[in-house]
Amino acid sequence: MAKCLVTGGAGFIGSHLISRLLCDNHSVIAFDHAPWDKLNNLFSLNSSAFKYVQGSVSDSSLFRSLITDAEQIYLLAATLGVRRVIENPIGTANTQVDQVRDICAIASSRQKIFYASTSEVYGKTIVSPLTEDLPLVLGEPDKARWAYACSKLLSEYLLLSLYRDKNVPLVVGRFFNVVGPRQNLSYGAVIPNLLSQAIKGMPLTVFGDGTQTRSFCHVDDAVDAMLSLMNHDSSLGQVFNIGNEEQISIGGLADKIRSLVDPLLEIKMIPYKDAMPFGFEEILHRVPSLNKIKQCTGWSSKYKLDEILRHCFIALKEALV
């Protein structure tokens, strides 16, 4: 049994990870800025091995006190949603840099660290599928959406340097569009937003012309991938994609959701200029190669898109009642 610390533990992915860690008989401290009475994701956790600490990763003294006692550390704290990133680029960057700064200062070789990075670091790279060894092309600094990708990529550099220089065991996972039950509608993720519109009988809104493609990874698959990487020492000091290779256009996704919920619903195309704030840039195609993680750990995603949509639909319908 390991003592685990999860930053961003009250969030969507963090709460699923914590449930799994507790089931695997680990003790867990969830560290998050949200007050306990607003943590619907964690209310069901009733275990003496679980503790919640409210605070910010920018509170260096508090965060370092939690790092010191942990054996496994999962760095999941982040600003989520393109709109939120654009509206608060400085806070977005600070969340990443602050937690990684303290990890680099005091983490030791007796600990093992997982850092949740993002497919956003691939930026404008046009190759498909995306492999971990590609040169990365990010956007212009006056486009605020790139604050998230830049801070994540800087964190990757710092942590991999920590591994090389101080032999601190760690692994980086780049998430591609993780979805599933408990996902917060306010973050603007496309699947819960389209499902919410469909459940309410509203037109399904697709930004742009709908030809942009994405792939979607079930949160249970993402958690399995994290734990698989943490359990294989051959993964240490490396970066891995975590996602699903099944791709679909956003227009095609809206059509699937319409067929699932109500075939009579309208699909409405909205130009980006009418929907997103200044500083937004769209990425037309973003699909991962998963060969590296398969070869290292044997992990592969289990859930197909149709099953993912059914799970999300059932969970969201219950939540909206």
- Residue ranges of alpha helices (H) inside the chain are 12-23, 60-69, 82-87, 89-106, 146-166, 190-199, 219-230, 250-261, 272-275, 291-297, 305-320
187 included as an active-site residue: no
Cβ-proximal residues to 86 (8 Å cutoff; 6+ apart), any chain: 144, 145, 276, 277, 278, 279, 280
- CA max distance for the chain: 59
Choose the catalytic residue: 52, 74, 115, 148: 148
Could you give the CA distance from residue 75 to residue 151 in angstroms, rounded to a whole number?
14
Residue 46 identity:
N
The phi and psi torsions of 137 (rounded to 5 degrees) equal -120, 105
Number of H helices, E strands in the chain: 11, 14
Tokens of 282: 């769209």
Could you give the CA distance from residue 175 to residue 118 in angstroms, rounded to a whole number?
5
Could you give the CA distance from residue 198 to residue 267 in angstroms, rounded to a whole number?
10
Tokens of 8: 């961003």
Exposure string for 237-251, b = 16+ CB within 10 A, e = fewer: bbbbbbbbbebbbbb
Helix 60-69 to helix 89-106 angle, to the nearest 10 degrees? 40
β-partners of residue 119 are none
Catalytic residues: 148
